[in-house]
Amino acid sequence: MLIVMKRGHTEEELQEVVREIEKVGYRPHVSRGVETTLVGAIGRGPTPELMEHFRALPGVAEVIPISKPYKLASLEVQPFPTVLEFPTGKTGGGHVMVAAGPCGVESREQTLKAARYVKAHGAHMLRGGAFKPRTSPYAFQGLGLEGLKILAEAKRETGLPIVTEVLSPEQVELVAEYADVLQIGARNAQNFALLQAVGEAGKPVLLKRGMSMTLEEFLMSAEYILSRGNMRVILVERGIRTFEKATRFTLDVSAVPVLKSWTHLPVWIDPSHPAGKRDWVIPLALAGLAAGADGLIVETHPEPEKALSDAAQQLHEHEFAELMDKVRRLVAALDKTLATPVLG
Ligand code: PEP
Ligand code: MN
């Protein structure tokens, strides 16, 4: 349920409401707006008696049930966008960020090269999988710990925060030591034990949409993370399975405006995996931003033809530079901001 405080309520009244929420075993989520303060009380099916109890507390204006199955993710509980801040930029609330880098960390040389040029072209974060979720058990699985160490070196040199994938709950602690953002891949988007584990890891999470998930299911996955006390979640539309075979997946551009009307969380687009082919990555990225996305996560490789995974879709450096140039112009046309990371 959602508790709407009266205008001009006191801090003591608010704290009393929070204490009462905890007393009945619910989780409070306070959001302070300019006009009023809202307190989400998250728990299982509040009874009319319980709602009445809260209605009678001093300072409370209204108590309303939250209509959506996802609670903490909903715009009802937090009617303003979540803005996540990194040393290189922000995402959400009109701020756009770009994460870029290879699909997988393959070597020190390959990753450092990519890190240097994505930074030079204005990216805000370095992506790269150290643990790769591959459809075939015989395909390149990533360098593991060695890959994480290479990412750490790239971060030390460039200052770019790192986003990298975690595949299992047991890996979360290790990956969280190196990552600034923990990536949950499409194939793990409903691995509820993993979602709970990253909810407790104290790091922002980039959650990909599963390839056959509805948007409501996607937000329920985000809710698993939020309900563990981690409100720093980025949602990523990365294409879904449809009957179309020309592209690797079908980018669901409509997911962006729909999600943004349902949730306060930042919504990003991954144009690489739906395209499956580098020629189509730039148009999909621009379509996503035009639809309102708060960021991009893009694959680029110093020698894409030699990549050990997703070779066909990774951009060459010059194509990444072209993308960033177009992104800058589009973001300006949309009256949004794209931070210019300081080159160090
Ligand atoms: C990736 O980002 O390299 C990846 C495996 O993505 P997805 O989980 O969206 O397939
Ligand atoms: Mn990939």
From 194, 195, 270, 296, the mutation candidate for ligand 1 (largest count of ligand atoms within 8 A of CB) is 270
Q: Is 183 left (phi over 0), alpha (psi -120 to 50) or beta?
A: beta
Position 35 confidence tier, pLDDT thresholds 50, 70, 90: confident
Domain segments of the chain as ranges: 2-64, 84-338
What CA–CA distance (Å, rounded) separates 305 from 323? Answer: 19
Please check whether residue 183 is in contact with residue 195, taking contact to mean a CB–CB distance below 8 angstroms: no
Percent of the chain with pLDDT over 70: 99
Amino acid at site 101: G
Angle at 83 between CA 77 and CA 88, to 5 degrees: 165
Is beta strand 181-184 parallel, antiparallel or unpaired with respect to 162-165?
Answer: parallel
pLDDT at 343: 57
> Which residue is it, tokens 């991954």?
270
**Which has the minimum average pLDDT: 39-43, 190-194, 287-291?**
39-43
Summarize the confidence of residues 186-200 as an average pLDDT.
Answer: 97
Fold of 84-338: TIM Barrel (3.20.20)
Q: In angstroms, what is the span from residue 115 Cα to ligand 2's centroid?
A: 16
Backbone angles phi, psi at 177, to 5 degrees: -70, -30
pLDDT at residue 185 tops 70 = yes
What CA–CA distance (Å, rounded) separates 272 from 320? Answer: 12
Q: Residues 6 or more apart from 257 whose CB is under 8 A from it?
A: 291, 292
Backbone angles phi, psi at 116, to 5 degrees: -65, -45
Position 344 confidence tier, pLDDT thresholds 50, 70, 90: low
Closest CA to 189 of 165, 164, 171: 165
3-state helix, strand, coil in the chain (%, to 5): 40, 20, 40
Closest CA to 235 of 272, 200, 204: 204
Percent of the chain with pLDDT over 90: 91
Average pLDDT, the chain: 96
Q: Would you say the pTM of this structure is higher than 0.75?
A: yes
CATH number of 2-64: 3.30.70.1140
Q: What single string gives the DSSP state of each residue in 283-298? A: HHHHHHHHTT-SEEEE
Summarize the confidence of residues 288-315 as an average pLDDT.
Answer: 98
Output the residue whose Cα is nearest ligand 1's atom 10. 186
Q: In angstroms, what is the span from residue 67 Cα to ligand 1's centroid?
A: 32
Nearest ligand 1 atom, CA 103? 3
pLDDT at residue 321 tops 60 = yes
Closest ligand to 191 CA? 1
Summarize the confidence of residues 243-248 as an average pLDDT.
Answer: 98
Closest ligand to 183 CA? 1
In eight-state DSSP terms, residue 315 is: B
How many Å separate Cα 31 from the centre of its chain? 20
Q: Residues 6 or more apart from 225 whose CB is under 8 A from it?
A: 195, 196, 198, 199, 205, 207, 233
Bridge partners for 127 per DSSP: 163
pLDDT at 50: 95
Bridge partners for 235 per DSSP: 207, 267
Position 338 confidence tier, pLDDT thresholds 50, 70, 90: very high
Q: In angstroms, what is the span from residue 177 Cα to ligand 2's centroid?
A: 22
Summarize the confidence of residues 179-194 as an average pLDDT.
Answer: 98
Summarize the confidence of residues 136-164 as an average pLDDT.
Answer: 97
Output the residue whose Cα is nearest ligand 1's atom 4. 185
Position 342 confidence tier, pLDDT thresholds 50, 70, 90: low
Closest ligand to 238 CA? 1
b/e for 213-235, b at 16 or more Cβ within 10 A?
bebebbbbbbbbbbbbebbbbbb
What CA–CA distance (Å, rounded) separates 74 from 31? Answer: 12
pLDDT at residue 262 tops 70 = yes
